[in-house]
Chains A and B, each alone.
Chain A
Amino acid sequence: MIAVDVKNLVKNYGSIEAVKGISFSVNEGEIFGLIGPNGAGKTTVLRIVSTLLKITSGSIKIMNLDLEKDADKIRKIISYLPEDAGAYKNLTGRAYLQFIANFFDMSQNQQMVQKGVEIAELEERIDDRVDTYSKGMMRRLLVGRALMINPKLAILDEPTSGLDVINAQEIRKLIKNTAKKGTTMLLSSHNMLEVEYLCERIALISDGRIVEEGEPKALMHKYEANNIEEVFTRAVQQ
């Protein structure tokens, strides 16, 4: 089943064309990566899929629900992790997870919180105020928040952004394990190694357009490249 189906997506900010007719699809349970430089349009695409921004033209279906018509229903089955997201500083980590869980199925919200606590792995610090957390701790809390609700689709914008090597590795493993349990992942990243490790399929975006799409290994073979970085450079130059 196709989890995300994007067709001819265009997004304009006034006269600025941020996304210029992108099409791609993500299968259920797949980890799909959007790869590209800053300003390529990755975050705009993820924000649109997350129901935050309006579509200028084109269409998006998530689990067969139309993004424009069924935004409220879509919000119940997705989870979005923005690149530079934060949490409410006056709350403790646990209270923040509880606040988010309260928007979902009330009968399961305690299990959700428990799952979030386990994913975040903050030990006793989970009961400390968020404003005392380091950047890595904050990111782990937010990943816990994003995945604890068992979303059908997790949209992760630079999930390991700003993290040290060890923290980043833990989060990558977590993403991979969650996908194995059936959650579809749509993520963006600058980190080509991360992409090679995590994504089953990728789309390379440059200047608001998809310039190449496929499995990382197949693309490396096609472009006779040693890594995705080289694939990207060659695909853009063509």
Chain B
Amino acid sequence: MSALGNIIKKELKELLTPATFLPIIIVALIFGTMGSSIQGIQEQAKEKPIIGIIDADNGTLSTIAVDVLNSSAKVVFNSSSMLDNQVQVGLETLKQKNGVALIIIPHNFTEKILSKQQGQIEVYWIMKGAGLMDAIPSVVVNQLLTTVNTNISKYLIQGNTSINATVVLSPTKRIETTSFKDREFKGLSPDKIMNMLSSQSMLIPIVMMMIIIMAGGIVITSMALEKENKTLETLLTLPVKRTSIVTGKIVAAAIIGLLLSVIYMIGMSYYFQGFQMSEGVNLADYGLTLTSAQDFLLIGISLFVTLIAGLALCMLLGTFAKNYKSAQTLTFPITMLAIVPMFLVMFADFDTLPFALKALVFAIPFSHPMMAPRALLFQDYLLVIGGIIYVLIFAIITISIVVWVFKTDRLLTGSTKIKKISKISGQIFRMKKLR
């Protein structure tokens, strides 16, 4: 064998370890699941949006609007009456048929525009989730309403009317009401609500992600350094309970992680303030701010149990770390587990996720404090408290496993199976060489 071949063979043997491949395989599986789910959402977006129309005007211009809507949307409710009763019937029908919006054209629509005023179009939005993906159907309907506007403008220009340019260019005005999670938001469109919610609830996912990445890295590295610096054996022969070693490492990492996050968040909070001010909407007017001490307490508990669960998971991974180098590889799956729910919470609403993705998001402990603020805004206590209980059980089980690993030979001797395999493969190699 050439010198080059010899070196390549040695390098491959060193690099082909489960620690190298396992994190990548896990990440590939997570991305695979995410990809197929997002693809499903995109397929959904290509479908015609489901809407309802109440045309109380029945004039020339409302007919133009209805034609546009009929040609590009699936209309499941049609009426020419604007009575309250009809609006309710329309909304119920849409909710049952997974509709997006009920578009109401009032009786004086054509007349108003022709008398040089903007014609009103009332839109009752039915918002299912607050993720970016959930906004796709409403974006499509928004585009249709823009087309309605354009087509009416074309009609007015072609008719060579004497209406002023402002009305010709923008003949319609929207009055929007959004129904979301059994609450009505007057004067707000789904995209505005979504922006407000995401700007408000983005802080916790980022804090959580930062704490987990920072504190998790500390725990894994601490375990690796105990092994690399040969201090672990001494520690394990001292009169200290295994539970105390595990708890001590987790608590110390949590404190450092929190300190680092506070420093990080001071900068980030200024960054987010800029976004919230640009919205120009007072969230409190719509009841979209958390005010009760109980809600903050629940968020705090959720953050705390998740931090403990995450660090216990890091500790478990840390027991696999042989040295500082391998510890760096092992922080990768934890980073991914923190980033994946952060993006999922941003792009989609837990309630509107497909079942498989919903189960995945729920199973990742880091998702829960990220989802908690939004859930509490809409009084979804079941999701928050259920999440806390789940994460608590996850933490207890993980800590128990870590303590068990500390009580076994595994921490010092590593996997005997791997040793056995390498020994057998070594023997086979030597036998081949002898032949």
> Is B truly associated with A?
yes
Residues of A within 8 A of B (CB): 13-16, 47, 50-54, 72, 75-76, 78-80, 82, 84-89, 100, 103-104, 142, 145
Closest A residue to B413 using CB positions: A13
A54/B409 contact (C-beta < 8 A), A16-B423, A75-B238, A100-B238 known:
yes
Chain A neighbourhood of B231, CB < 8 A: 85-88
B416 at the interface (CB under 8 A from A): yes
Kindly identify, within residues 187 to 242 of chain B, every residue whose CB is under 8 Å from any CB belonging to chain A.
229-231, 233-234, 236-241
Chain A neighbourhood of B363, CB < 8 A: none
- Asked if A53 and B413 make an inter-chain contact with CB atoms under 8 angstroms apart, the answer reads yes
B417 at the interface (CB under 8 A from A): yes
- Expressed in whole angstroms, the minimum distance between the Cβ of B81 and any Cβ of chain A is 79
Q: Is the interface of A mostly helix, strand, loop or mixed?
A: loop
Chain B neighbourhood of A80, CB < 8 A: 233-234, 237
Bound Cα distance A172, B227 (Å): 27
- Asked if A53 and B233 make an inter-chain contact with CB atoms under 8 angstroms apart, the answer reads no
Kindly identify, within residues 378 to 435 of chain B, every residue whose CB is under 8 Å from any CB belonging to chain A.
408-409, 412-413, 416-417, 419-420, 423
Chain A neighbourhood of B238, CB < 8 A: 75, 100, 103
Chain A neighbourhood of B413, CB < 8 A: 13, 53
The CB with the most chain A CB atoms within 10 A, among B239, B413, B417, B423, is that of: B239
Q: How many residues of B contact A (CB 8 A)?
A: 20
- Asked if A82 and B419 make an inter-chain contact with CB atoms under 8 angstroms apart, the answer reads no
A47/B412 contact (C-beta < 8 A), A14-B417, A84-B230, A85-B230 known:
yes
Chain A neighbourhood of B237, CB < 8 A: 50-52, 75, 78-80
- Expressed in whole angstroms, the minimum distance between the Cβ of B321 and any Cβ of chain A is 16
- Asked if A72 and B241 make an inter-chain contact with CB atoms under 8 angstroms apart, the answer reads yes
Chain B neighbourhood of A88, CB < 8 A: 229, 231
Closest A residue to B418 using CB positions: A14
Bound Cα distance A84, B234 (Å): 11
- Asked if A72 and B239 make an inter-chain contact with CB atoms under 8 angstroms apart, the answer reads yes
User: B230 is contacted by which of A13, A50, A82 (Cβ under 8 Å)?
Assistant: A82
Bound Cα distance A78, B238 (Å): 8
The CB with the most chain A CB atoms within 10 A, among B229, B231, B238, B408, is that of: B238
- Asked if A53 and B420 make an inter-chain contact with CB atoms under 8 angstroms apart, the answer reads no
Bound Cα distance A104, B409 (Å): 25
- Asked if A103 and B412 make an inter-chain contact with CB atoms under 8 angstroms apart, the answer reads no
10 contacts between A and B (CB under 8 A): A13-B409, A13-B416, A16-B423, A75-B237, A75-B239, A75-B240, A85-B233, A86-B229, A88-B231, A103-B239
- Asked if A14 and B234 make an inter-chain contact with CB atoms under 8 angstroms apart, the answer reads no
